[in-house]
Amino acid sequence: MGGREATMVLLDENGIRCDGRKIDETRKIMIKAGVLKNADGSAYIEFGDNKILVGIFGPRDVHPKHMSDTDTGILRVRYHMEPFSVTERKNPAPSRREIEISKVIKEALEPAVMLEKFPRTAVDVFIEVLQADGGTRCAALSAASVALADAGIPMRDMVAACASGKVADTIVLDVNNEEDQAGQADMPIGYMPNLKKITLLQLDGILTSDEFKKCVDVGINGCKIVYELQKKALTDKYFGNGSN
Ligand code: UDP
């Protein structure tokens, strides 16, 4: 999180951000459902310069069997960054960060998926980050929800995700990579708009309690924008408006 020098550049006197956006604007978002033939469900998302592919397998038997739960299905999530996804080659071995993001995405998806309908089975969510530019956990979580729905897994709602943050003393929607590096706070949020429930909330940085509330409200508005595009991706696939 940076100081005043970065602050001057991040937001100009007309309230325009370093990538030309207004404070309440998301980056350009494109979501496509059902892009992989051999997975049970899949989705692809472009969120600004982030490019992420998600493939689902399951529900299927758990091996070894003692890992299964007789009362419910289990969700397993692997978030993985390709070595070429960032400017400085990423070591292909799982990093602490990837393990943490896999865990938070799993926990953010669990309230949405009706795992109790599939006791003793596992649903696997494989996330491949092809290109990263800040905000990959939110983009990946949003794509994973679409991929789970595409796999026909019963869900209570989809989780839509978007980050808000504080840049140049101003609360903004959808923090990009530069803003994440040099801004004052970054708050990724995962939200189920129909159920009005937050399933992911992290905060890197410091906010006053008023700023915290504003960040949550701004982030939820971003999630609602993402939600419409998630629904459109599924409608396009299943009701013939797309090329699938
Ligand atoms: N990043 C990188 N190398 C890494 C990990 C991350 O360049 O090994 C970049 C990448 O663009 C990522 C950004 O740093 O999107 C912010 O990472 P963070 O841990 O905040 O997670 P994210 O914002 O992607 O959810």
User: Is residue 137 in contact with ligand 1, taking CB distance under 6 Å?
Assistant: yes
Q: Which of 50, 98, 177 to mutate to test the pocket of ligand 1 (most atoms within 8 A of CB)?
A: 177
pLDDT: which is higher, 207 or 64: 207
Q: What is the set of domains in the chain, with CATH numbers?
A: 3-239 (3.30.230.70)
Residue nearest to atom 14 of ligand 1 (CA): 134
Atom of ligand 1 nearest to the CA of 204: 20
Mean pLDDT of the chain: 94
Residue nearest to atom 22 of ligand 1 (CA): 135
Span 41-53, average pLDDT? 98
- Residue 213's pLDDT is 98
Q: What is the pLDDT of residues 92-129, one digit of tens each?
A: 999 999 999 999 999 999 999 999 999 999 999 999 99
Check whether 3 has a pLDDT greater than 70: no
Look up residue 175 and give its two tokens: 């923090």
- Residue 7's pLDDT is 44
- Residue 5's pLDDT is 46
Beta bridge partners of 73: none
pLDDT tier for residue 9 given thresholds of 50, 70 and 90: confident
Total number of residues shown for the chain: 244
- Residue 241's pLDDT is 59
Contacts 24+ apart (CB under 8 A), 192-196: 192/111, 192/112, 192/156, 192/157, 192/158, 192/159, 192/160, 193/157, 193/160, 193/223, 193/224, 193/227, 194/157, 195/156, 195/157
Check whether 4 has a pLDDT greater than 50: no
Residue 115 and residue 70 in contact, taking contact as beta carbons nearer than 8 Å? no
Span 135-139, average pLDDT? 98
- Residue 118's pLDDT is 93
Whose tokens are 């905000």? That residue is 135
**Up-side HSE of residue 112: CA atoms within 13 Å toward CB?**
30
Span 15-26, average pLDDT? 94
Q: What is the pLDDT of residues 151-201, one digit of tens each?
A: 999 999 999 999 999 999 999 999 999 999 888 999 999 999 999 999 999
